[in-house]
A and B are shown apart, each in its own frame.
Chain A
Amino acid sequence: MDIHETQVCTAVIAPIGRIDAFTAPELRAALDRHVVAGTIRFVLDLSDVAFLDSAGMAVLVTLLKRARTAGGNVRLVWPREEAAKRILRLTKFDRVFDMADSADAALGGF
């Protein structure tokens, strides 16, 4: 008997604090490690992200494009910070990404 087993992993990444032009490279490097390891499904839990600028947005979009090209996806968990939520709506990130209210809900969608 041959048994073919496939394990599909979803990485849940929860940055805490501020994602800006200074800290975005650190997040990008952390995500790159998962991409290189073959991960194509991601949950980016932004619950505790207090500030997100366009450099941080670029990291999220780059990951989304790479994941979707490989047949995967990126789901975002809404930040708790109301002002940050409004920016995600303003930039239509809430339409480009699949959004969820919690990491568990995001994982359930895969």
Chain B
Amino acid sequence: MSPAPAAPQPVLVRLEIPAEHRYLNVVGACATALLGRAPGLKEAEIAHYNIELALQEACTNVVDHAYAGQPGRIVIEFSYIEAPRQLTVDLYDTGRPFDPQMAGEPPLDEPQVHGYGLFLIRSLMDEMAYESSPAGNHWRLTKKLW
């Protein structure tokens, strides 16, 4: 009897950037480059854009609220798996913990200056999780791909 085929191993990519608005476009570009080699992705340009936007919002949140203008670093770990096709992105920072009071849904029928960031992450990704520990903050964003 032949052994069961090994489970597909995720492709791991690790990135570390200064927590500054200037460098956040690197994160989305990395995700787009990683997914750009995924064969036959449905509506690839839409998927790339949505993931890039969700990552931009998550990192902006870290820069603006966790570090709040103070210098810091963001570690981003991409984990891409083919079957089932899925991208998981873990973001780590050592800034202030996230305030759950910021997590409310914006009333979209009235124009809002703030509040779209988390709404976009939730809407564009399949899962969004957050945990705080003495070591820092950890966000996990997951997107199922077809």
Contact = CB atoms under 8 A, between A and B. Distances in A.
Contact of B119 (A51, A91, A95): A91
Interface in A1-25: 18, 20-22
A61 B57 CA distance: 17
B79 interface: no
B63 to A, nearest CB: 7
Interface string A66-87: 0000000000000001111011
Interface size band for B: 20 to 34
B99 interface: no
Interface residues of A, number: 26
B45 interface: yes
Interface stretch (B10-18, B70-78, B81-89, B105-113): B105-113
B114 to A, nearest CB: 7
A61 B107 CA distance: 13
A87 B120 contact: yes
B53 A53 contact: yes
Interface in A43-61: 51, 53-55, 57-58, 61
Nearest to B106: A91
